[in-house]
Amino acid sequence: MRQLLRCRRGAAAFATVVALVPLVGFVALGGEAGSWYVTKQNAQNAADSAATSGALKLACTLSGSCNDTFTVAYRGMEFAARNGFCNTGDATISFQGSPNINAPNCGMASNNTASRALDFTGGGMSVNLGVLSAAGGCTGGASFCNSALTYRPPISNPFAALDSALTNLCGSNPGLPATCGLPNCPKGSGPLVPYTAANKCTNNDVTISGNTTALTAGVYFISGLLSLKGNALVTGTDVTFILLPGASINTKGGGTFTITGPKTAPATGSLPPAFQAYAYLFQYMGLYDASATPVQFGGTSKTNITGNIYAPTAAVTFQGDPVIRLSGGAGCGELIAASVTFNGNTTLDLTGCSTATKPTAQYVSLVQ
């Protein structure tokens, strides 16, 4: 026993084991600290790129010759997202509640690079799309996300030329609400007046109460607030509404706003010179919303638009129980917005589209 107690064989191993406990702890702490450093560096890169992008946009705006219509904040957040940091609530296309999307020959695409570019929240929804894709990821219902094509190249904007034309008309940073140099339309010709060679004007801060207004075909510029009250009804066929920056339409006073876009491109004389080269883009265009004011269809808002809807800086929400039908070339229409949310029991019906209009999503995949 005395010899066993005096034996020192294995003492080094015991001491090593004891020493390894704090050593392993320090190694783990070092690894954790390393991940903190990488996260901090990535966050700093995102912040620097966002600040640089915002500064470049501001410098462009101050130069007075900027063709970029997006805000400083938008450009900052855009480049922060490209570097992996974005608002987790920033879902470009969101499905909430129990919407019914029936467009088997059409597609939806989100150009948002965030992980929540597509977001499915709630149950009982029905989504029947030819293609659903995103430049970012998809969260929510697995049955919907599994069929979505995620992290794909962004879709090109077919109406992008209108953004630079708007800048030429209104300037790079107009005061809101903007009239873009257009005089107020003359009174006495009806509550709303189309833009013509004789009346190069905008309908500025117009209120329509308790009347039915049948619009003649044409292009109508709206600035400020267009308010429909007392069950007022505004209808029109072959009509395009252009909401200038800061403009909005309010139908919460019981009004109904129903228009159908033109089947042919408007004559150049019905557009300001800044838009005349792009008259072809207004074919089938029901609404060109150049304002960043959020837009709501359905619920207490009775707005029905048949034709293309282009709202590049506005958040568009379909709320309650509206039934939306978009139409345009070949019976199909396009909706382009900064973000789109389908709430409640919204129905989006594009079953009139032919199989020839079904979009395809291109991407490269490596296989063995």
Element (H, E) at 217: none
Residue partners of 118: CB distance under 8 A and separation at least 6 = 91, 92, 93, 94, 110, 132, 134, 136, 137, 138, 139, 140, 144, 145, 148, 150
Give the pLDDT score at 148: 92
- Per DSSP, the three-state class of 99 is coil
Element (H, E) at 233: strand 233-237
Burial environment of residue 16 by CB neighbours within 10 A (0 to 12, 13 to 18, 19 or more): exposed
Give the pLDDT score at 69: 46
Give the pLDDT score at 87: 47
Pair 166, 290: CB distance under 8 Å:
yes
Most confident of 54-68, 213-227, 319-333, 354-368: 213-227
Side by side, the strands of the sheet bearing 212-215 are 212-215, 233-237, 256-260, 302-306
Q: Residue ranges of the alpha helices (H) in the chain? A: 2-6, 11-63, 72-82, 142-145, 161-170, 273-276
Instruction: Quickly state the pLDDT bin for 37 (edges 50, 70, 90).
Output: low
Give the pLDDT score at 33: 62
164, pLDDT greater than 70: yes
Structure tokens at 257: 């706003």
Report the mean per-residue pLDDT for the chain.
80
Instruction: Quickly state the pLDDT bin for 3 (edges 50, 70, 90).
Output: low
Burial environment of residue 197 by CB neighbours within 10 A (0 to 12, 13 to 18, 19 or more): exposed
Residue partners of 28: CB distance under 8 A and separation at least 6 = none
Percent of residues, the chain, with pLDDT higher than 70: 70
Could you write out the three-class secondary structure of 284-317?
A: CEEEEECCCCCEEEECCEEEEEECEEEEEEEEEE
- Per DSSP, the three-state class of 145 is helix
Closest to 106 measured CA to CA, from 281, 349, 366:
349
* Angstrom distance (rounded) from CA 241 to CA 258: 11
| Amino acid in the structure at residue 323 | V
Pair 319, 301: CB distance under 8 Å:
yes
Pair 135, 111: CB distance under 8 Å:
yes
16, pLDDT greater than 90: no
pTM metric for this prediction = 0.73
CA-based R_g, the chain, Å = 28
The pLDDT tens digits of the residues spanning 298-347 come to 765 577 788 899 999 999 988 877 667 676 655 677 889 999 998 888 88
Residue partners of 270: CB distance under 8 A and separation at least 6 = 194, 195, 196, 218, 219
Percent of residues, the chain, with pLDDT higher than 90: 37
> Which of 52-61, 110-119, 264-273 shows the lowest mean pLDDT across its residues?
52-61
* Angstrom distance (rounded) from CA 15 to CA 27: 18
Give the pLDDT score at 89: 43
63, pLDDT greater than 60: yes
Pair 100, 345: CB distance under 8 Å:
yes
* Angstrom distance (rounded) from CA 121 to CA 129: 17
* Angstrom distance (rounded) from CA 359 to CA 348: 17
The pLDDT tens digits of the residues spanning 70-79 come to 556 555 655 5
Could you write out the three-class secondary structure of 181-211?
A: CCCECCCCCCCCCCCCCCCCCEEEEEEEECC
In this prediction, residues 182-191 reach a mean pLDDT of 88
Give the pLDDT score at 117: 93
The pLDDT tens digits of the residues spanning 207-259 come to 998 888 999 999 999 999 998 888 889 999 999 999 999 999 888 777 888 88
In this prediction, residues 128-152 reach a mean pLDDT of 90
Residue partners of 112: CB distance under 8 A and separation at least 6 = 81, 90, 91, 92, 134, 135, 136
The pLDDT tens digits of the residues spanning 257-301 come to 888 999 999 998 999 999 999 999 999 999 999 999 888 877 655
HSE of 361 in the Cβ direction (CA atoms, 13 Å)?
22
Which comes out higher in pLDDT, residue 320 or 127? Answer: 127
